[in-house]
Amino acid sequence: MMRALACLVLVAACHGNATTDDPDLATYLSRVAKLDEAARQREVAGWRLTRPEFEQLVVVPYQSLWFQYATHFDELAPALAARLAHPGAVTARKHVANDRGLTRSQGRLRWTVPLQYPSMVAALDGAPIDTVFVRLDGHWRSLSGIDEELLARARALDPTCGDRLASAGTPSQCTEVAWMIADAALRRQDDRFAHACKLASATCPLHGLPELDAALRDAGIAREHGSTDAPTVQTASCTTPEYIIKGKYGESITIRERGCHLCTLARDDETSPLLDGFARALRESPHALVEAAGLTRITLCSSIEGQNDASIVDNAIGGTIDPQRGGLMLSTEGLSLTGEDIVHHELFHLFDRSPEMLRYAGSDAEWDALNPKGFTYGHGQSAGPGFLNAHATVNEREDRATTYQFMMGRPGELCDRAAHDPIVLGKARLIRDRIHDVLGTSEYLERRLPCL
């Protein structure tokens, strides 16, 4: 009994796979797949490298990771066993760095063994078995667990850089840079790690939610997550339309919001193409503007419903603000807007609620003076001279936000319009001047818009 327990706890000392082992990996895995569940789990548990095997096999700087490898391997072993639960056609091939059929993890695991080491990978019915196999002392072993520790260490140093590392592995310039990230992280070379991460920002772009989450982390903004218990969230104005903020000089300012919006939270596996645009817009926005706007959180919505908001022209809402909570609600619905359009428009709305900008909230005579003579804001108008789209004709707030939206999200289009529309040019310059008054600079706009 004690011998059996020792084999289960110290698998490395009691590899008991003689009945299924075969020097041909495909043959061996085919035999493992035919075992009953308990036997298959025991067999897979025996793939864990002993500490002496590990330290003899892997290269510096991975040699010190055996305890972490063993812990991760034990967590991953049940899934590996389940992967082989159904017999099928097993194929195996050499594990080489330029193999475009490798999974990302398999590609990164190539870094852990010596150059040209005869490690192997396998597939079941054409789908990868996501680990790397090595043959030691007549038995097959697995490297599963090393990559998990590598990613954990990189993310602990820089979560965004760790995510970029996780996107690498297949043959690419990104993977070349990612090797440097991994090596520097494990060697604790902080300056080299930071340099590699900077290179990866260009060579290892993320996409979708990973890229948005990376942009949010870099900006210090939280993302509100959905749950089955609370699949919707309202703006604070739905229940508390009136609230007080502190002005520039410490005075109390009462604000009353007319709009109320209901967000149906997007799933945490959302794949909308708008997500990359959201991320780009956040990265393009200066930290000083984000801070002045009071933006601290983003809520992704599969849809947004508006109530009691005079600015809503139809039922399609790309985004809205929740100023009491410092939030933006962004819709992932496929509208005619880009992700950049939505974020820049809503971010300016939030900035427009900052204490320094509230002087223009009631009546903006300076802005109105730019409009065509006799023009009155309201619904149902077309975008004539001085207006970038029909939404800009609804009210001053929407006109200002739309102008900024084009300045940031469609700078070429705005400059083309401004070349023959002095009203549009005047509005863009006024937005620039007001941002300069609040931030002390508007250089980012001047670089983006040479027509200013």
Q: For the residues 113-142, what does the mean pLDDT come to?
A: 97
- Return the closest-CA partner of residue 158 out of 178, 141, 142, 176: 178
Instruction: Specify burial of residue 297 (Cβ count, 10 A radius: 0-12, 13-18, 19+).
Output: middle
Q: Tabulate helix, strand, coil % of the chain (nearest 5).
A: 50, 15, 35
Look at residue 15 and give its three-state secondary structure. Answer: coil
pLDDT tens digit sequence for 376-388: 999 888 899 999 9
Residue 63 has pLDDT above 60, yes or no: yes
pLDDT tens digit sequence for 282-318: 999 999 999 999 999 999 999 999 876 554 444 568 9
Tell me, yes or no, whether 180 and 247 share the same domain: no
Residue 86 has pLDDT above 50, yes or no: yes
CATH number of the domain within which 440 lies = 3.40.390
Q: Is the peptide bond before 385 cis (omega within 30 degrees of 0)?
A: no
Least confident of 308-317, 323-332, 346-355, 432-441: 308-317
Residue 445 has pLDDT above 60, yes or no: yes
Q: Is residue 217 part of a domain?
A: no
Least confident of 25-29, 359-363, 405-409: 359-363
Q: According to the model, what pLDDT value does residue 16 have?
A: 44
> Whole domain around residue 36: which residue ranges?
16-205
Residue bearing tokens 């609230």: 243
pLDDT tens digit sequence for 414-430: 999 999 999 999 999 99
Q: How many residues does the chain have?
A: 452
Q: According to the model, what pLDDT value does residue 405 have?
A: 98
Tell me, yes or no, whether 139 and 24 share the same domain: yes
Tell me, yes or no, whether 195 and 238 share the same domain: no
Contact 300, 271 (CB under 8 A): no
Q: Is residue 219 part of a domain?
A: no
When pLDDT is cut at 50, 70 and 90, the band that residue 58 belongs to is very high
Q: According to the model, what pLDDT value does residue 4 have?
A: 37
Tell me, yes or no, whether 21 and 161 share the same domain: yes
- Looking at 187, 205, 223, which one is the last position of a domain? 205
Q: According to the model, what pLDDT value does residue 259 have?
A: 85
Q: According to the model, what pLDDT value does residue 24 have?
A: 94
Residue 5 has pLDDT above 60, yes or no: no
When pLDDT is cut at 50, 70 and 90, the band that residue 149 belongs to is very high
Residue 15 has pLDDT above 50, yes or no: no
Residue 1 has pLDDT above 90, yes or no: no
Q: Is residue 225 part of a domain?
A: no
Q: Which two tokens stand for residue 186?
A: 């494990």
Tell me, yes or no, whether 335 and 392 share the same domain: yes
Tell me, yes or no, whether 164 and 306 share the same domain: no
Residue bearing tokens 């947004």: 304
Number of domains in the chain: 2
Report the relative pairing of strands 252-256 and 127-136 from DSSP bridges. Answer: unpaired
Residue 138 has pLDDT above 80, yes or no: yes
Tell me, yes or no, whether 164 and 280 share the same domain: no
Q: In the chain, pLDDT over 70 holds for what percent of residues?
A: 93
- The set of residues, in sequence order, having a beta carbon less than 8 Å from that of 386 and lying 6+ positions away, is 370, 371, 372, 375, 421, 423, 424, 427
- The set of residues, in sequence order, having a beta carbon less than 8 Å from that of 225 and lying 6+ positions away, is 265, 268
- Residues 222, 436, 385: CA angle, nearest 5 degrees: 95
Tell me, yes or no, whether 195 and 293 share the same domain: no
Which is it for the CA torsion 204, 205, 211, 216, positive or negative? positive
Tell me, yes or no, whether 439 and 333 share the same domain: yes
Q: For the residues 420-444, what does the mean pLDDT come to?
A: 98
Report, in angstroms and rounded to the nearest whole number, the Rg of the chain calculated over CA atoms: 29
- Looking at 189, 205, 221, which one is the last position of a domain? 205
Q: Is residue 199 part of a domain?
A: yes
When pLDDT is cut at 50, 70 and 90, the band that residue 10 belongs to is very low
Tell me, yes or no, whether 60 and 196 share the same domain: yes
Q: For the residues 129-153, what does the mean pLDDT come to?
A: 98
Tell me, yes or no, whether 372 and 423 share the same domain: yes
Q: Is residue 7 part of a domain?
A: no
Q: Which two tokens stand for residue 449?
A: 């818009």
- Looking at 135, 170, 205, which one is the last position of a domain? 205
Q: According to the model, what pLDDT value does residue 226 have?
A: 67
CA distance 174 to 203: 5
When pLDDT is cut at 50, 70 and 90, the band that residue 246 belongs to is confident
Contact 317, 305 (CB under 8 A): yes
CA distance 80 to 48: 12
When pLDDT is cut at 50, 70 and 90, the band that residue 72 belongs to is very high
Q: Is residue 398 part of a domain?
A: yes
Q: In the chain, pLDDT over 90 holds for what percent of residues?
A: 82
Q: What is the pTM of this model?
A: 0.79
Mark out the alpha helices in 37-90 (DSSP H runs): 37-45, 51-57, 66-83
Q: Is residue 223 part of a domain?
A: no
Tell me, yes or no, whether 355 and 413 share the same domain: yes
Q: How far is CA 213 from the centre of its chain?
A: 3
Give one DSSP letter per residue of 171-230, joined into a string: SSHHHHHHHHHHHHHHHT-HHHHHHHHHHHHHHS---HHHHHHHHHHHHT-EEEPP-SS-
Q: According to the model, what pLDDT value does residue 22 have?
A: 84
Q: Is residue 10 part of a domain?
A: no
Instruction: Report which of residues 6 and 78 the model is more confident about.
Output: 78
What are the C-alpha distances in Å from 261 to residues 223, 257, 342, 350, 393?
A: 18, 11, 16, 15, 21
